[in-house]
Chain A
Amino acid sequence: MATVEERVKAATARVLKLDLDQIKQEHSFTVDLGAESVQSVELVAMFEEEFGIEMEEDAALSVETVGKAVAFITEVCAEQGVEVEK
């Protein structure tokens, strides 16, 4: 199974229409990857679908970087009993 980081990067690449190797842990979704506000909503939706979780909108949308998204999603998965590859 792919790791959380790999899955987050794949979902991000799909929504923002980027190549996987363009996405780094330290990248900001908005500043570095060019996500507009509507795409942020799409990203949250895509992560929820990818991991089968429910995220609180305010908290999810305040996550700025890919690395922080990986940590946040890992935490939510643990809280909601969803097994993932770290």
Chain B
Amino acid sequence: MRLILVDSPEEVRGHFYPLALSRPLWELRCGFSSLGEKLAAKVGVSDVAYFVADYMADAYRAKVDRPVNETSVLEGDDLFIVDPRIKADSFDVAGSGPSEVGLDEQGSLLYARVAKADLAKLPKEDIRKFVAAAKANLPNVRPALPMWQYIWDLVLANSEQITADFAAAGRSGVEGIIEEPSAIRGNKKDIYIAEGATLHPMVVLDAENGPIYIDERVEVHPFSRIEGPCYIGKDSILLGAKCREGNSIGPVCRIGGEVEESIIHGYSNKYHDGFLGHAYVGEWVNLGALTTNSDLKNDYSNVEVMLDGRRSINTGSTKVGSVIGDHVKTSIGTLLNTGSYVGAMALIMATGKPLPKFIPSFAWFLEGIVTKGFGKGKLYETAETAMGRRNCQWSQAEQAMWDAVFEMTAPMRNKAIKKGRRAMLAR
């Protein structure tokens, strides 16, 4: 049986922007791993194929060793097509069995289990036509399946997911090195330190309220305190960090200051002091010293987030920090308001005041306004430099994807630039 993950249409992926601008939804993370890894593990297959938006296909193909947008995967085996927003932990539909199509209340596809014998009935030249034909020709059911609706759902579920993933991993104990003196609170069975990981002296691990998983080759510097539930990804370094509960970090991150209930994708840095709470941070982000986000409003009301720059969405939670896209760079002293959206590739030079809650992708935020700055070419140069420092390469495919993102995000950016111009002229 082959698992096929099909990315959602743009209007749905928009609920997961800015992260989903540059990756399919199943590459979003929660707990130890990505949503796609969780679905594959739940279904119990290693044969996985992907269908992503055309503009990111080449870039994504370079990152994975499975077929991307290849219609040849639509034949030769039983197929299990799954919406990546389905929560893997509560997905109990068998991958094998007679053909069946699960639809939500609006008639959108949740999953399609297509037996090999039924493949002949379906067109295979286009995944959209294939799915439409499966809906029309195969038995339909209307299951109630829990789904990820917005990007902050992942943040809010992270503590619970880490705890579940720790139990599923089935590991505990110390295979790495703990240099004494150290302090461990809670049950040692709730701690796993992988081979190659090193904890310097004066590190506190507090597993009293949840498990701690420190992955391979992690380095934890003195005076760091790590509270569970927590997952520290491979090759990350904690620098005297106050790592509060509910964090998923890494791989290859550099983290200092205070971080709480946040998900940070790989290769991002928050080296210095400053608070990051209930945040979702993309790849290749650098948060300058003292960058701080608020994750709780002064009146304790629900946090609202603008994902499209126009409409505020009530998150239903009093604790939501910021969502920060890939390649964002913030200057020293950046203050992010509660529920801030910082678009991918944005560059922020703080003024000391809290920023507007919506910073468009590719914006240069200078002197308190959104500007065109030095253009996307300079942002690409910076991205190339940052990636080179970690032995990663900025590719033509990646640049083509970001060019497409630049165009997609132009309307909101141009609107913000115009607003900035008006403010500049009024000075």
Contacts and interface: CB of A to CB of B under 8 A. Distances in A.
Given A57-B377, A58-B377, A42 B367 contact: yes
Given A38-B349, A41-B364, A42-B367, A57 B374 contact: yes
Contacts of B374: 37, 41, 57-58, 61
A44 B375 CA distance: 11
A32 interface: no
A49 interface: yes
Contacts of B163: none
A23 interface: no
B366 A41 contact: yes
Interface string A47-86: 0110000001110010000000000000000000000000
Contact of B424 (A37, A46, A56): A46
A42 to B, nearest CB: 7
Nearest to A50: B425
A56 B375 CA distance: 8
A57 B424 CA distance: 18
B15 interface: no
Contact of A57 (B349, B366, B375, B420): B375
**Top 8 closest A-B pairs, CB basis?**
A57-B375, A38-B366, A41-B371, A41-B373, A58-B377, A49-B421, A57-B372, A58-B375
Contacts of A58: 374-375, 377-378
Interface string B349-372: 100000000000000101100011
Contacts of B366: 38, 41-42
Interface residues of A, number: 13
Contacts of B378: 57-58
Interface of A: 37-38, 41-42, 44-46, 48-49, 56-58, 61
30 contacts: A37-B374, A38-B349, A38-B367, A41-B364, A41-B371, A41-B373, A41-B374, A42-B366, A42-B367, A42-B371, A44-B372, A45-B371, A45-B372, A45-B417, A45-B420, A45-B421, A45-B424, A46-B425, A48-B421, A49-B421, A49-B425, A56-B375, A57-B373, A57-B374, A57-B375, A57-B377, A57-B378, A58-B375, A58-B377, A61-B375
B372 A41 contact: yes
Nearest to B367: A38
A42 B420 CA distance: 10
A49 B374 CA distance: 17
Interface in B371-391: 371-375, 377-378
Nearest to A39: B367
Interface residues of B, number: 16
Contacts of B349: 38
A45 to B, nearest CB: 6
Contacts of A57: 372-375, 377-378
A38 B424 CA distance: 13
A45 B427 CA distance: 14
A44 B421 CA distance: 11
Contacts of B425: 46, 49
Contacts of B372: 41, 44-45, 57
A42 B424 contact: yes
Nearest to A61: B374
A41 B347 CA distance: 13
Given A41-B374, A44-B372, A45-B424, 17 more contacts: A38-B367, A41-B371, A41-B372, A41-B373, A42-B424, A45-B417, A45-B420, A46-B425, A48-B421, A57-B373, A57-B375, A57-B377, A57-B378, A58-B374, A58-B377, A58-B378, A61-B375
A42 B349 CA distance: 14
Contacts of A48: 421
Contacts of B375: 56-58, 61
A51 B190 CA distance: 65
Interface string B197-238: 000000000000000000000000000000000000000000
Contacts of A38: 349, 366-367
A45 B425 CA distance: 10
A16 to B, nearest CB: 13
A57 B376 CA distance: 9
A72 to B, nearest CB: 16
Contacts of A61: 374-375
A57 to B, nearest CB: 3
Nearest to A46: B424
Interface string B261-304: 00000000000000000000000000000000000000000000
